[in-house]
Amino acid sequence: MMRKATQGQPMQILSPIPDAILPQAGRLWRRHFGGLGRVRGFRAANGAVALQGGRVLGVIGFRDAGGGFATWRAGLAAILFRPAPPTGDLVIDGIVARLPRRGIGRALVARAEAEARARGRPGLRAEVAAGNRAALAFYRRLGFVEETRGRFGWPWTGTVLVLRKAL
Protein backbone atom coordinates (compact mmCIF):
# COMPACT_ATOMS: atom_id res chain seq x y z
CA MET A 1 0.00 0.00 0.00
CA MET A 2 1.35 3.44 -0.95
CA ARG A 3 1.47 6.20 1.60
CA LYS A 4 -0.05 9.53 0.73
CA ALA A 5 2.47 12.35 0.44
CA THR A 6 1.01 14.16 3.47
CA GLN A 7 0.99 11.17 5.83
CA GLY A 8 3.34 11.72 8.72
CA GLN A 9 3.67 15.43 8.04
CA PRO A 10 2.60 17.71 10.89
CA MET A 11 -0.47 19.85 10.56
CA GLN A 12 0.20 23.59 10.87
CA ILE A 13 -2.29 26.22 12.01
CA LEU A 14 -1.46 29.64 10.58
CA SER A 15 -3.04 32.99 11.37
CA PRO A 16 -3.16 35.41 9.76
CA ILE A 17 -3.61 33.34 6.62
CA PRO A 18 -0.60 33.78 4.29
CA ASP A 19 -1.40 35.64 1.05
CA ALA A 20 -0.35 32.65 -1.08
CA ILE A 21 -2.85 30.38 0.74
CA LEU A 22 -5.74 32.87 1.11
CA PRO A 23 -7.41 32.09 -2.27
CA GLN A 24 -7.46 28.34 -1.53
CA ALA A 25 -8.76 28.92 2.02
CA GLY A 26 -11.37 31.37 0.71
CA ARG A 27 -12.64 28.86 -1.87
CA LEU A 28 -13.09 26.19 0.80
CA TRP A 29 -14.90 28.62 3.13
CA ARG A 30 -17.07 29.99 0.34
CA ARG A 31 -18.25 26.52 -0.75
CA HIS A 32 -19.79 26.14 2.70
CA PHE A 33 -20.82 29.67 3.67
CA GLY A 34 -20.85 31.73 0.44
CA GLY A 35 -24.30 33.24 0.94
CA LEU A 36 -25.88 34.18 -2.38
CA GLY A 37 -22.53 34.69 -4.09
CA ARG A 38 -22.18 38.09 -2.43
CA VAL A 39 -18.64 37.45 -1.11
CA ARG A 40 -16.24 40.09 -2.42
CA GLY A 41 -13.04 38.91 -0.74
CA PHE A 42 -11.43 37.67 2.47
CA ARG A 43 -9.45 39.28 5.29
CA ALA A 44 -6.35 37.25 6.09
CA ALA A 45 -6.13 38.68 9.63
CA ASN A 46 -9.66 37.46 10.43
CA GLY A 47 -9.00 33.81 9.79
CA ALA A 48 -6.80 30.80 10.41
CA VAL A 49 -5.97 27.90 8.17
CA ALA A 50 -4.97 24.30 8.83
CA LEU A 51 -2.26 23.12 6.42
CA GLN A 52 -0.56 19.83 5.84
CA GLY A 53 1.94 19.37 3.06
CA GLY A 54 0.83 22.67 1.49
CA ARG A 55 -2.80 21.53 1.27
CA VAL A 56 -5.56 23.45 3.06
CA LEU A 57 -7.31 21.01 5.39
CA GLY A 58 -9.57 23.53 7.06
CA VAL A 59 -10.32 27.18 7.65
CA ILE A 60 -11.97 29.21 10.39
CA GLY A 61 -13.11 32.81 10.18
CA PHE A 62 -13.26 35.34 13.03
CA ARG A 63 -15.70 38.22 13.31
CA ASP A 64 -16.01 41.20 15.65
CA ALA A 65 -17.49 44.69 15.44
CA GLY A 66 -14.88 45.55 12.78
CA GLY A 67 -16.06 42.83 10.40
CA GLY A 68 -15.50 39.20 9.59
CA PHE A 69 -13.42 36.88 7.47
CA ALA A 70 -15.47 37.50 4.33
CA THR A 71 -16.13 40.93 2.91
CA TRP A 72 -19.55 41.27 1.32
CA ARG A 73 -20.97 43.25 -1.55
CA ALA A 74 -23.83 45.49 -0.52
CA GLY A 75 -27.10 44.67 -2.19
CA LEU A 76 -30.72 43.71 -1.77
CA ALA A 77 -29.82 40.48 0.03
CA ALA A 78 -28.10 42.52 2.77
CA ILE A 79 -31.43 43.86 4.01
CA LEU A 80 -32.68 40.29 4.56
CA PHE A 81 -29.83 39.38 6.91
CA ARG A 82 -30.63 39.66 10.63
CA PRO A 83 -27.60 39.82 12.91
CA ALA A 84 -27.52 38.06 16.27
CA PRO A 85 -27.40 40.26 19.39
CA PRO A 86 -24.15 42.24 19.79
CA THR A 87 -21.32 40.71 21.80
CA GLY A 88 -17.90 41.52 23.17
CA ASP A 89 -16.78 37.98 22.30
CA LEU A 90 -14.87 36.98 19.20
CA VAL A 91 -17.38 35.29 16.89
CA ILE A 92 -16.51 32.23 14.86
CA ASP A 93 -17.34 33.34 11.33
CA GLY A 94 -17.66 29.83 9.91
CA ILE A 95 -15.43 26.78 10.27
CA VAL A 96 -14.95 23.99 7.78
CA ALA A 97 -12.67 20.94 7.72
CA ARG A 98 -12.11 18.79 4.64
CA LEU A 99 -11.66 15.63 6.72
CA PRO A 100 -14.08 15.17 9.62
CA ARG A 101 -13.04 13.73 12.98
CA ARG A 102 -9.30 14.22 12.47
CA GLY A 103 -8.77 17.05 14.99
CA ILE A 104 -8.74 19.79 12.36
CA GLY A 105 -11.79 21.63 13.71
CA ARG A 106 -10.60 21.29 17.30
CA ALA A 107 -7.19 22.75 16.35
CA LEU A 108 -8.83 25.66 14.51
CA VAL A 109 -11.08 26.45 17.49
CA ALA A 110 -8.03 26.35 19.78
CA ARG A 111 -6.41 28.94 17.48
CA ALA A 112 -9.60 31.04 17.67
CA GLU A 113 -9.39 30.90 21.48
CA ALA A 114 -5.80 32.17 21.33
CA GLU A 115 -6.89 34.95 18.95
CA ALA A 116 -9.74 35.94 21.29
CA ARG A 117 -7.32 36.19 24.21
CA ALA A 118 -4.85 38.22 22.14
CA ARG A 119 -7.65 40.64 21.20
CA GLY A 120 -8.78 40.94 24.84
CA ARG A 121 -12.13 39.21 24.25
CA PRO A 122 -13.86 37.47 27.17
CA GLY A 123 -15.00 34.47 25.13
CA LEU A 124 -15.81 32.83 21.84
CA ARG A 125 -19.23 32.74 20.22
CA ALA A 126 -20.66 30.47 17.53
CA GLU A 127 -23.99 30.95 15.77
CA VAL A 128 -25.32 27.59 14.55
CA ALA A 129 -28.51 26.59 12.75
CA ALA A 130 -30.65 24.51 15.13
CA GLY A 131 -30.88 21.73 12.54
CA ASN A 132 -27.09 21.36 12.26
CA ARG A 133 -26.76 18.58 14.83
CA ALA A 134 -23.17 17.73 13.95
CA ALA A 135 -22.00 21.31 14.50
CA LEU A 136 -23.97 21.64 17.74
CA ALA A 137 -22.45 18.41 19.09
CA PHE A 138 -18.96 19.56 18.03
CA TYR A 139 -19.24 22.89 19.84
CA ARG A 140 -20.78 21.32 22.95
CA ARG A 141 -17.88 18.82 23.13
CA LEU A 142 -15.54 21.83 23.16
CA GLY A 143 -17.35 23.44 26.10
CA PHE A 144 -19.71 25.85 24.35
CA VAL A 145 -23.09 26.39 26.00
CA GLU A 146 -26.29 27.85 24.60
CA GLU A 147 -26.73 31.53 25.40
CA THR A 148 -29.87 32.29 23.38
CA ARG A 149 -31.72 31.31 20.23
CA GLY A 150 -33.71 33.15 17.61
CA ARG A 151 -34.22 33.77 13.90
CA PHE A 152 -30.84 35.26 13.07
CA GLY A 153 -28.95 35.24 9.79
CA TRP A 154 -30.83 34.54 6.55
CA PRO A 155 -34.61 34.08 6.81
CA TRP A 156 -34.41 30.57 5.37
CA THR A 157 -31.87 29.43 7.97
CA GLY A 158 -34.58 28.95 10.59
CA THR A 159 -33.81 29.01 14.28
CA VAL A 160 -30.20 29.73 15.19
CA LEU A 161 -28.57 28.87 18.50
CA VAL A 162 -26.02 31.31 19.88
CA LEU A 163 -23.36 29.31 21.71
CA ARG A 164 -20.64 30.74 23.95
CA LYS A 165 -17.43 29.58 25.53
CA ALA A 166 -15.98 31.77 28.26
CA LEU A 167 -12.20 32.11 28.22
Average pLDDT over residues 108-124: 97
Give the Cα separation of 160 and 153 in Å (integer): 8
pTM: 0.89
Q: Within 10 A of 33 (CB to CB), how many other CB atoms are there?
A: 17
Q: Alpha-carbon distance 79 to 89, whole Å?
A: 24
pLDDT tens-digit map of 118-129: 999 999 999 999
If you average pLDDT over every residue of the chain, what do you get? Answer: 88
How far from 130 is each of 52, 89, 104, 135, CA to CA, in Å?
A: 32, 21, 23, 9
What pLDDT score was predicted for residue 143? 98
Q: Is residue 35 very low, low, confident or very high in pLDDT (cuts 50, 70, 90)?
A: low
What is the set of domains in the chain, with CATH numbers?
12-166 (3.40.630.30)
- pLDDT tens digits, 61-92: 999 888 889 887 666 666 777 888 999 999 99
Hey, CA dihedral for 112, 118, 119, 123, is it positive or negative? positive
At residue 157, what is the residue type? T
